[in-house]
Structures are given as C-alpha cells and as structure tokens.
Amino acid sequence: MSVFSVFRTTMAVLGLHMVLLLSGSSVLISAADVDFDAASNAILSPFSGTTVKTTSDPTTSFTTRVNKTTTRPPAITKHLTEKDEEEEGPPEFECPPLGLESLRVKDNQLKASSYKRRGLGPHRGRLNIQSGIEDGDIYDGAWCAQYRDKNQWLEVDARRLTRFTGIILQGRSSIWSWDVVHTYKVQFSNDSVVWKPCMNGTKEAVFEGNQDTETPVLALFNVSTVARFIRINPQTWYQNGTQGDICLRAEVLGCPLPDPNNNYAWLTEPTESRDKLDFRHHNYMEMRKLMKLVHEECPDITRIYSIGKSYKGLKLYVMEISDNPGKHELGEPEFRYVAGMHGNEVLGRELVLNLMQYMCQEYKRENQRIVHLIKETRIHLLPSMNPDGYEIAYKKGSELAGWALGRFSYEGIDMNHNFADLNSVMWTAIELETDRSKLINHYFPIPEMYTSEEAFVASETRAVINWMQNIPFVLSANLHGGELVVTYPYDMTRDWAPREHTPTPDESFFRWLATAYASTNQVMSNPDRRPCHNKDFLRYNNIINGADWHNVPGSMNDFSYLHTNCFEVTVELSCDKFPHASELPTEWENNRESLLVYMEQVHRGIKGVIRDKDTEAGIADAIIKVEDIDHHIRSVADGDYWRLLNPGEYTVTVTAEGYLPSTRTCQVMYDYYPTICDFRLTKIPARKQKEVLPKGKLTKDLQLRLRQLRLRKLRVTTKAINQRRAAAAAKQVKKV
Ligand SMILES: [Zn+2]
C-alpha cells in the first residue's frame, strides 16, 4: 500500500526518538542506535531454542466490565528476543468485527442521518478507509454528517439478529482537515423504526471517541444487546469555530445469532474453507512452531533455513519446498514468495503459512498438480521479512493497530524504499552514453555508496539481497496488503514524477504475470466489488504498473529485475491490512488458486543449458539475449538458464567470455511447460581471442567483476555491523 497515505500517519504513530531525514532519493527515518546482527545464509537447526508458551491476555469480559473506553497502552517498549517467551498477546474480543473494514458489510448496509456529499457518505464510514490526496472527491476519508447537531447518526444493518458488544471509532482520514468525534451514544433497533439507547446502569451510556484522527479507540458495551440495527450517535466533536464537522470511521463488534429455525446451525456451520489449515494469526513463536510442524509432517520435501536476522534479532525463516530440499537441480527453476515486508500487512504471512501446510498435505494425498509443482520447482517461502514490525502490530491486534503501526523496521526503515536504486544508475547511463553498445541492461552492480557501513540499509534488506545472490531465483512475488491490485515493475518513475507509466522491456510478460494472479483471485476478479480506498483498480483489470500508481524508488521488485535474473511483482492482497482472524479461511479461499497459478508461471518461456561444445561443461554467466527485448538474462553456475517469455517465436543469441556467440530460434507455446533451448558454444582459440572479441566486451567483464566486488563489500560491512551489534548486545546483557 502506498507510502504516501501511510506517511501522514507515521509521525503520530512512531516514537519521537525518530528523526526524519529527507535525503535525495529516499525517505529515511533513522533511530539513534544501530544494533545489527548476523545476516548469514547458513543452514540452521532453527528450533534449538527453548519450548514456547504464548500467554494470551484476554482484556475484555463484557458481562462484568463497567461501561468505559478501553485504551491500550501506547508504544511497545518491551524488547523482542528469541528468549522472550512471556509475550503479551493481542486483545481478543468476545465477538468479531462485523466487517465494515473488510467490506464484508456492504455499502447498502450503511445508512446515515445526513451526509455532506457523496464522497463523505455512510459507505465511507469504515475503519481505516483512506482518502486520496485531495479532499472533496468521491473517495473521501470518512462519513461526515451534513449538519452539526446531536441528532446525527451512522447506522449499520447487520441483516440478522446480532449480539452487539462494542464499537471501534476513528477520526477522518485527510491531509487537510482534522475531524474527530469526542463522545458518542449508541442505539439499537430490530426494525430501524423503534430505537432503544445503550445504557450504563440507569443512565444512557456515553462513550469516549477519538482525540486524534488515526488511533482507533475501542468501547465495549457494559451489557451486550441483541438487535439487527445499530446506530452511532455523536454527541461532541472537535469544533474549530465553524470548521469542525461530525466525521467518523467505525467498526462494530458483534456475534451473529443462530438462525431461530435451526438452533445448532451456527455450531455446526462448516469452516469457510474446505482445507484443514491453521487459520489464525501466528506471532513469531507460533510461526516457528507451525513451520516446524510442517517440516515434521513432510520431512522429505521441506527444509527450514534462515537468511539472517531482524534488527531485534528475530530470524528470517524460509520454508523450502522441493523434491530435493537444499539443492539446486540442473534446469529446475527457483521460485520465492516474500511476505510481511511491511510488518502490519499481515495477510501475506498467513497465506504463505497456509500455503506450506496445504502443499505438504496435498503432496501426501498425491494431488498431481502439487506433486508436479514440487518435483519441477524449488520453492522458497519467506513468511515474514519484517518480524519486528509484525510483532508491534500483532500486539495491538487486527482492529486497533491502525493503518501504519508496524509497517517499518524497528529502526523506522520502509524496506520497500530501502533497496539500492539501480533505476537511476541505468537512466543516467542512458542519458550520458552516446554509444548504445556500451550500455548494460541487466545485472547492474550495487552502487559503491550503498555498500558502506554507514549506508542506512536495514539488516533485513541486507539479508534479502544476500539471499537473492545465493539462489538463482527466476520468479517471485512480494505480498503486501491494504489494497486489491497486482503491480509490476518499474515501481520508480524516470523523472521523479509522482506517478507515470514506466514499463520495463518485459512489459508484456509482466502484464501477463500480474494478470495470472489478479484474474484468478476471487475478490479482485469479482466485477461487482467496490474499490478499497481511493482508487478503482477494477478499471485497470486489477493490475497496474507500479510507477503508474505511485513512485517508489528503491523497491525490491525493481532491484530484483535490474540486479538479478528474477522477475517480481507486488500483490496487494486485501483492503484490510490486518484482517480479523475470522476472515482468514475466506482469504485463503480467495487466494489459493492465485498463489498456485502464479507459481506455475515460473515454467513459462524458454530454458536450457549452455555448454562447452567440446567438454560438455556448463558455462556460467553466459548472456542470453532475446531479439527486441532490451533486458538480458545470465546462465547460473551449471550453465542452466530460464528466460520468461510469452508465447511466440524468438531469436535468441548466447554469448560467453571466450566463446563464439551462438544464435537460434526458439518457439514458445501456450503450454504450462517451457521450451527447451540448449546451446553448445565453441571456444575461441586463445591466439585468436584478441581479434574476434566484439567491441564493448571489456565493459561487460568489468560489469560482472564490479557486481561481485560490490556484493562482497556489502557482505563484509554487514558482517562488521553484525559483530558490533552482537558485542553491544552482550555488553547490555552484562549490565542487566
Ligand atoms: Zn505494503
């Protein structure tokens, strides 16, 4: 989800110790002390730690509670470590949200006494809804009443008898206005004609609303009430002379009552997914435990490893699924899903955990589609790239975390702006270089600056870059939340435009990839769905070029494409960044097919092995050029390569240092398997090499060497930072 809409809320949410630096290409928020830890790619015995018991802390017990607003403690000050077992759980409500935020409650279930204009209608009164940059359009940031008196209300029709237990209230989302409701009353009705007030003993209850526009405030009713309709009735609000309007965003908590004709229906209602998966939110400890269980269930096709640690020392665990775990097999493409780069966008994490369980189960049941996928692909699943951020959001829970809490790394870094900006390097070169043959179009080295110890690069980012080097990924998706759309590179605009269509040379394949996910996702592909926040992506068939949405310099997708062979898109999985646990089975159903179909796309296009004609040895780092596509791919260690392409006929040329180039035609069909296009290259006799070498050859060698050199530097500085941080941590422990 856009950093922009998050950014305006950030300052309220982040601690004051953060310093905001606006420096050239990226927005950085730096914390005072830096405390990095190991970012190695070692295979670990991941669960050597102690046994874990997570204590949940039910904060609500409505029958005994006196009617008062529950205010959660502010910042999380507790440090997260692997040994920290007594974690505070999120607040658990007796009844789930009706789904104003998740859109389970439809627009026509929301009514109001009056509204200022269409863009501020009752259908906008949903928790966490985001306005656009401008106020005044049809996608404004709250329900706002037309009048300013105590008779205004927002009404929710639950459509069946419901035991209402509470309300969560939020102010208006806007850059320009400040509108919050300070206190409010609540009324119930069975027919929306006769209304009865929510009581606190013998008096009508008055609930505390908001003091700022962003923080969701929970109010639990003293006594729950069964009704079909509920009204939120503001009593006092922020009044700035004649300015302040009555505006709010809300969620309603309530348990739907059983159908009176079938007393046991709700108890026997099947879960909303036919798959038997662990549908709940998993914190760090629970995530580890689940991954371990999956590995124990399917030891032959899984392996758990860590790619490094977060700032706070939480490991970045990966589940590998393959018929030969731990090994790259010649010709077998490698795939990855990365979730939770923004810690508060939690659905991706749960879907990836669901996916590993599902694949294990289905493999054992001999589901041929899954067996085939596992045999032909090496799959890597990283459920949580930003575990520190996640833990912060998790403790507030799905309804009270707001829009931005937990998005950033512990140091305040937005990881999707934190990768080296290679786009600028490329575009500057294009502008300055008159000899086009000297330009490179792939495998861009990391800029020197980025490799220094002082570079403000998150430990999580460093770990992922290292991972990208160690494994020859072909395809990936970066799972986010807060919208429903699939975006594809580039994410960065060329001339710092706030938004501008900025295609890669592989535009058509990226559009195909994005479509593969979007068209099989059950919510995105529903033509009747309403837009999440302030942009109607249905008009774009739910796919968009990243830069055409908003400019994101330093994104993981752009880096992946320009620095490695891997193609990557971003999937925005749901309007709600942190769906309530009760939504998870439905979300799995919405995404199961898309997650599988997308992985299968790694088998599109052409692949093969590039060998020495005489020795049959594989040739690494050979360049695979496809005519008319200005982006090359390199072969990996054993000479194997993958070139994702749409169906069609392609002229492919392979060049390698010390060999004569070779060209052939490769035909890509509409099938779910790639065309094999092997190459056998003839060595240039040593004495002839000088004459035959094409111009610009030296530049290319230099490029490869520079790329390796910079990477080595990045690893060295990362190691140094990690050691310093480990020493500092050890010192701290001694003091305590
Ligand atoms: Zn995001």
Last residue of a domain, one of 549, 567, 591: 591
Q: What three-state secondary structure class fits 435? A: coil
Q: Do 584 and 486 belong together in one domain?
A: yes
Q: Which one-letter DSSP state was computed for residue 667?
A: E
Tell me the CA–centroid distance for residue 362 and ligand 1, in Å: 30
Q: How far is the CA of 9 from the centre of ligand 1 (A)?
A: 14
Shared domain check, 257 and 224: yes
Residue 552 domain-assigned? yes
Question: d(Cα 568, Cα 557) in Å, to the nearest integer?
Answer: 5
- Consecutive H or E run containing 372: helix 368-376
**Rounded distance from Cα 46 to ligand 1 centre (Å):** 28
**240 and 161, same structural domain?**
yes
Confirm whether 1 is domain-assigned: no
Residue 714 lies in a domain: no
364 in the same domain as 240: no
Residues 200 and 306 in one domain: no
Same domain, 322 and 466: yes
**DSSP assignments along 265-334, one per residue:** HHHHPPPS-SS----S---HHHHHHHHHHHHHH-TTTEEEEEEEE-TTS-EEEEEEE-SSTT-PPTT--E
Domain assignment of residue 19, yes or no:
no
Domain annotation covers residue 16:
no
Catalytic residue among 572, 583, 587, 600: 572
**What CATH number should be reported for the domain holding residue 652?**
2.60.40.1120
For residue 295, the CA-to-ligand 1 centroid distance in Å is 29
Give residue 459 CA to ligand 1 midpoint distance, Å. 18
Q: What are the φ and ψ backbone dihedral angles of 389, each rounded to 5 degrees? A: -60, -40
Same domain, 477 and 525: yes
Residue 47 CB burial class (10 angstroms; 0-12, 13-18, ≥19): middle
Based on the residue annotation, tell me whether 572 is a catalytic residue of this protein: yes
If asked whether residues 341 and 474 sit together in one domain, one would say yes
Q: How many separate helices (H) and strands (E) can be counted in the chain?
A: 14, 29
Q: How many domains does the chain have?
A: 3
Report how far ligand 1's centroid is from the alpha carbon of 478 (Å): 9
Is residue 276 in a domain? no
Cα separation, 98 vs 129, in Å, equals: 15
Domain holding 359: CATH number? Answer: 3.40.630.10
pLDDT tens, 475-520?
999 999 999 999 999 999 998 899 999 999 999 999 999 999 999 9
Asked if omega into 490 is within 30° of 0 (cis), the reply is yes
Ligand 1 centroid distance, CA of 693 (Å):
46
pLDDT at 260: 63
Query: Is 341 domain-assigned?
Result: yes
**pLDDT for residue 23:** 33
- Low-confidence residues of the chain, pLDDT below 50? 4, 6-86, 264-268, 270, 696, 698
Q: How far is the CA of 386 from the centre of ligand 1 (A)?
A: 11
The CATH number for 105's domain is: 2.60.120.260
In a domain, 95, yes or no: yes
Range of the domain at 544: 281-591
Q: How many CA atoms does the CB half-sphere of 62 hold within 13 Å? A: 22
Residue 474 near residue 334, CB atoms below 8 Å: yes
Distance 610 CA to ligand 1 centre (A): 38
Average pLDDT value for the chain:
86
| Whole-prediction pTM | 0.86
Residues 585, 614 share a domain: no
Q: In this structure, are 307 and 442 located in the same domain?
A: yes
Domain edge (last residue) among 591, 616, 636? 591
Q: How many CA atoms lie within 13 A of 96 on its CB side?
A: 15
* pLDDT digit string, tens, across residues 388-447: 999 999 999 999 998 999 999 999 999 999 999 999 999 999 999 888 888 999 999 999
Residues 152 and 204 occupy one common structural domain: yes
- Model confidence over 441-473: pLDDT tens digits? 999 999 999 999 889 999 999 999 999 999 999
Domain boundary among 683, 703, 723: 683
661 and 548 belong to one structural domain = no
